Structure 1
Amino acid sequence: MAGHSKWANIQHRKGRQDEKRGKIWTRLIREIMVAARTGGGDITANPRLRLAIDKAKAANMPADNIKRNVDKATGNLEGVTYEEIRYEGYGIGGAAVIVDTMTDNRVRTVAEVRHAFSKHGGNLGTEGSVSFQFKHVGQFFFAPGSDEEALMEAALEAGAEDVITGEDGSIEVLSAAVDFEALKNALEAAGFKAEVAEVTMRADNSITLTGEDAEKMQKLLDALEDLDDTQDVFHNAELDTQ
């Protein structure tokens, strides 16, 4: 992937997420509830819940809110039951798009996802139509200027699968999804705190969209991100709107 545009896209996405803090809490609450319901409320035995709670704390969610939603999910309090549904489709220029949702009404959700795709020039596909182009990985991004040699040594020693340096000096570290937490802890212990650290669906290859196509693709991504039931949107487009 083009390193310069990838770093710019990461920073752009991070900025847009920061603008939507109110919705971030809603998504985190759903993730906490599903993680607790599927894996139990003990964070020492449930890494998915532990990661969700770490994200909630980073977003300044009060501890009472976190505990209340864990209790709802594990049956200690009455609450809504959410199910996870993944949708796959195509954006501008055939870009691959994955939309992960959590919903209490799948009929409503699929209608909203389909409408967002069709309204903004995309198409909702079938299960498996684009997901084969992605890998479920732990992903860390470090800003340009990081000590490449020391970071690479620390990452590989801690079990990273790959370290990729972008054209602008930004560094991407990849791990197996199950190794994400251990690698994150090891890197931070070595003095390396990532700008972005997450378990994600990473595209094997990307396509570059420029000008009007990039703007159309961004509108599609925004529409999908803004749906109430959306948790995450993954895609393989590098957007260059300059």
Structure 2
Amino acid sequence: MAGHSKWANIQHRKGRQDAKRGQVFTRLIKEITVAAKMGGGDPAMNPRLRLAMDKAKGESMPKDNIESAIKRGTGTLEGVDYVETRYEGYGIAGAAVMVDCLTDNKTRTVADVRHAFSKYGGNMGTDGCVSFQFKHCGYLIYAPGTDEDALMEAALEAGAEDVITNDDGSIEVITPPYEFIGIKETLEAAGFKAEVSDVSMKPLSDTELTSEEIIKMQKLIDALESLDDVQEVYTTALMDEEE
């Protein structure tokens, strides 16, 4: 159905994120630092760190940068002490929005996030007001035309939680968040290369918007993603029509 293609929505979102490469290294370094602080510097014993390092390598981050971030997290090197915080609210047409941040100044961060919500037509809510509308999981998206039966068999055997075929023919493989890398590697070895893959907060349902609402919603998301303390922005809004 025009305007509500899961595949187009995923590609649109990925394209918007790819255009913001300048912020990627900074956010990955912060995530590696916090992951090492929370769970130690050994990726074999710290799945969150392993995932962050895998993303960093995927973005061609130099090895020295990764190692320095781990050392700052474990205290071997001095560095900024980041705190994790999450803000929730509503965007255009009531679409749920969840904003994950790493900050050294929560007072500044909450003010910036609240300002972005209010300036661009959203409303910042209370803790837990929309988080129930998302699931923390890994996902791998395969293009329309992928052999559904073969992928489903391989994915479930590898430990995937679910395999979903969308109306547009794209196929989603859902994984436990910290088993994502192993399942992805197993499927690649079987010949299935995902077009898009990540560990994220997956919306449990989508909020459909009109073309005008999509434009307004994109401005809100862009404003939130441009904030230095923001790591990720999640929304239930379908965003495939606006380029």
Q: Deviations over 1:4-51 (max 9, x none)?
A: 522112111111111111100010000000000101111111111111
Q: Normalization by structure 1: what TM-score? A: 0.95
Give unmatched runs, 5+ long, in structure 1. none
Opposite residue 205 of structure 1, the aligned amino acid is S
Give unmatched runs, 5+ long, in structure 2. none
For residues 208 and 2 of structure 2, what CA distance do their matches in structure 1 show? Answer: 9
* Equivalent residue, structure 2, for 1:195: 195
Q: Does 1:132 align with 2:132?
A: yes
Opposite residue 199 of structure 2, the aligned amino acid is V
- Give the 3 Å change call, closer, same or farther, for CA 176–227 of structure 1 in structure 2: same
- Give the 3 Å change call, closer, same or farther, for CA 2–133 of structure 1 in structure 2: farther
* Equivalent residue, structure 2, for 1:239: 239
Task: Tell me the SS of whatever aligns to 2:9.
Answer: helix
Q: Does 1:63 align with 2:67?
A: no
For residues 99 and 72 of structure 2, what CA distance do their matches in structure 1 show? Answer: 25
* Equivalent residue, structure 1, for 2:19: 19
Q: CA RMSD in A?
A: 1.7
For residues 9 and 191 of structure 1, what CA distance do their matches in structure 2 show? Answer: 25
Contact 1:2–1:167 (CA under 8 A) maintained in structure 2? no
Task: Tell me the SS of whatever aligns to 1:237.
Answer: coil
* Equivalent residue, structure 1, for 2:120: 120
Name the stretch that deviates more: 194-203 or 93-102. 194-203
Identity %: 66
Contact 2:112–2:227 (CA under 8 A) maintained in structure 1? yes
For residues 240 and 16 of structure 1, what CA distance do their matches in structure 2 show? Answer: 11
For residues 207 and 49 of structure 2, what CA distance do their matches in structure 1 show? Answer: 34
For residues 160 and 4 of structure 1, what CA distance do their matches in structure 2 show? Answer: 26
For residues 160 and 67 of structure 2, what CA distance do their matches in structure 1 show? Answer: 33
**TM superposition shift of 1:2:** 9.6
Write out aligned runs for 1:104-119 (5 A). Answer: 104-119=104-119
**TM superposition shift of 1:176:** 2.1
Opposite residue 184 of structure 2, the aligned amino acid is K
* Equivalent residue, structure 1, for 2:150: 150
Q: Normalization by structure 2: what TM-score? A: 0.95
Write out aligned runs for 1:1-242 (5 A). Answer: 5-241=5-241
For residues 201 and 69 of structure 1, what CA distance do their matches in structure 2 show? Answer: 24
- Give the 3 Å change call, closer, same or farther, for CA 33–145 of structure 1 in structure 2: same
For residues 91 and 241 of structure 1, what CA distance do their matches in structure 2 show? Answer: 17
For residues 28 and 43 of structure 1, what CA distance do their matches in structure 2 show? Answer: 15
**TM superposition shift of 1:3:** 10
Opposite residue 163 of structure 2, the aligned amino acid is V
Aligned length: 242
For residues 94 and 80 of structure 1, what CA distance do their matches in structure 2 show? Answer: 36
Contact 2:4–2:238 (CA under 8 A) maintained in structure 1? no
Contact 2:165–2:172 (CA under 8 A) maintained in structure 1? yes
**TM superposition shift of 1:185:** 2.1
Opposite residue 206 of structure 2, the aligned amino acid is S
For residues 224 and 127 of structure 2, what CA distance do their matches in structure 1 show? Answer: 17
For residues 232 and 66 of structure 1, what CA distance do their matches in structure 2 show? Answer: 20
**TM superposition shift of 1:110:** 0.2
Contact 1:3–1:168 (CA under 8 A) maintained in structure 2? no
Contact 1:90–1:122 (CA under 8 A) maintained in structure 2? yes
**TM superposition shift of 1:193:** 1.8
